[in-house]
Chain A
Amino acid sequence: MPDWLPTFERVQPWHWWVLGAILLILEVSAPGVFFVWLALAAFALGLLVFVVPILPVTVQLLLFAGLAVAAVFVGRRYVGQLALGGNEGDSLNTGASRLVGRTVTVTTPIVNGVGRVRVGDSDWRATGPDAEAGRSVLIVAADGTTLIVREVNGTWV
């Protein structure tokens, strides 16, 4: 058995770092955000072992487990902060709410609060105050596939 391999008696800090590197490589090649947390834990533990070299291997492994869980929570908060700053993905797949603020034309009269409006080249179900066909309405909100509209005062199309 070569002496550079980690044993149950002794694990060097760089063993952990190598493990972290291998985990990062796995993270890139495998889908899903998973190995990166373990890699972070491995790097942190390597640093700890570097500072306190006398830690037994069992304690090191327990610490690794604990650090992995901690890395998930810390990392999530950090990723959350990353997502706050100018994330363009928020405007994608937002469903009907992307239509809020547009003025559209009623196609099927709104009777008893339900009718249809024309948005672009398609036709949407709409709820709002009763209005006859041809009337302009403003989309104020979206509920699933139904648009909530209110009248644009005094505008005729």
Chain B
Amino acid sequence: MGFMIFVGVLLLLVIVTILAGIKSVPQGYEWTQERFGKFQRSLKPGLNLIIPYIDRIGRRVNMMEQVLDVPSQEVITRDNAMVTVDGVVFYQVLDSAKASYEVRNLEQAILNLTMTNIRTVMGSMDLDELLSNRDQINARLLIVVDEATEPWGVKVTRIEVKDIKPPADLVASMARQMKAEREKRANILDAEGFRQAAILKAEGEKQAAVLSAEGEKQAAFLQAEARERSAQAEAAATRMVSDAISAGNTQAINYFIAQRYVDALRDVATAPNQKTLILPIEATSVLGSLQGIAEVAKEAFGHKG
């Protein structure tokens, strides 16, 4: 029975020993192995054997990339604006031993380092620069923090400033400034538009005036030409008439005139105005013209006879 108890205890010891000696590390982690408290090696993911009772697991280090939220803090810029800033830090442990033993509280260390450096970088900039140069801020922060965390076996891959919040009254005046800026632009554009419109209108009027003058000039030219032509025609007609007269007899002219004269008399007689009474100026001249007709007739008949 005593032997049985011994065997039972021995079995228990073996089981405990196996439990202490076999370590399976999950992927994404590295565990540090300490021999009598001194760092021995890093256990990689997978099945690992350590010597029970003298080796111990020290720290379980996460080797994945991790995100740290940088809490909001108030920063005073170079031009004395108070802004509230928060951000994120992405970091990855590349050397589990250094991350375990070179620094006591890694997350807190990185966080504090980042926060103080955000202050440093932003304190050296004006508010306008701050709001427009985030890339530059991120790059500067990254270089400083990464250099500082290098002895801890940590790679800071990214630092991003998330939110830059100026105080509300400052935001309001920024909005006002922007509105004023836009209104100014709008007014300038309006004025430009009016100016251009006026110029165009004047140009149009000038062109219209020029065109109408040109038109008048051409019309005058054409009218003069027309007058000239009609004068020429009249001259030609007169010449033809006088030629005809010189070739023929004066009585022929008299005939024409008498005809017109009689026509005129008829017109006067049939005029609606009853009070008008025109007597021929020279009745004899009318008769004279009649005589002319007779002579023409006579001549014609005589010529025939």
Contact = CB atoms under 8 A, between A and B. Distances in A.
Contacts, number: 95
Contacts of A72: 18, 21-22, 49
B64 interface: yes
A93 interface: yes
A76 B64 contact: no
A149 interface: no
A61 B11 contact: yes
Given A69-B18, A122-B142, A93 B95 contact: no
Given A89-B27, A122-B142, 20 more contacts: A32-B22, A34-B18, A34-B22, A58-B4, A61-B11, A62-B7, A64-B11, A68-B14, A69-B14, A72-B22, A93-B30, A93-B63, A95-B94, A95-B95, A124-B155, A145-B94, A145-B149, A145-B150, A145-B154, A145-B155
Contact of B94 (A58, A76, A96, A121): A96
A8 interface: yes
Contact of A33 (B24, B27, B30, B146): B24
A5 interface: no
Contact of B146 (A79, A89, A123): A123
Contact of A93 (B15, B24, B45, B142): B45
Contacts of A58: 3-4, 7
Interface in A95-139: 95-96, 108, 116, 121-125
Given A92-B27, A93-B27, A123-B146, A62 B10 contact: yes
Contact of A144 (B47, B63, B94): B94
Nearest to A60: B7
B103 to A, nearest CB: 13
Contacts of B45: 89, 92-93
B66 interface: no
Interface string B5-48: 00110110011011101111001101000000000000001110
Contacts of B155: 95-96, 122, 124, 145
Of A64, A80, A122, most buried by chain B (CB within 10 Å of CB) is: A122
Given A37-B22, A72-B49, A146-B150, A65 B11 contact: yes
Contacts of B24: 32-33
A33 B10 contact: no
B241 to A, nearest CB: 105
Interface string A35-67: 001100000000000000000011001101100
Interface of A: 8, 32-34, 37-38, 57-58, 61-62, 64-65, 68-69, 72, 76, 79-80, 83, 89, 92-93, 95-96, 108, 116, 121-125, 144-146
A111 to B, nearest CB: 14
15 contacts: A33-B22, A33-B24, A61-B8, A61-B10, A68-B14, A72-B21, A93-B27, A93-B30, A96-B155, A108-B143, A116-B143, A122-B155, A123-B142, A125-B147, A144-B95
A145 B22 contact: no
Contacts of A124: 146, 155
Given A58-B3, A145-B150, A89 B46 contact: yes
B186 to A, nearest CB: 40
B212 interface: no
Given A72-B49, A96-B94, A125 B150 contact: yes
B139 A95 contact: no
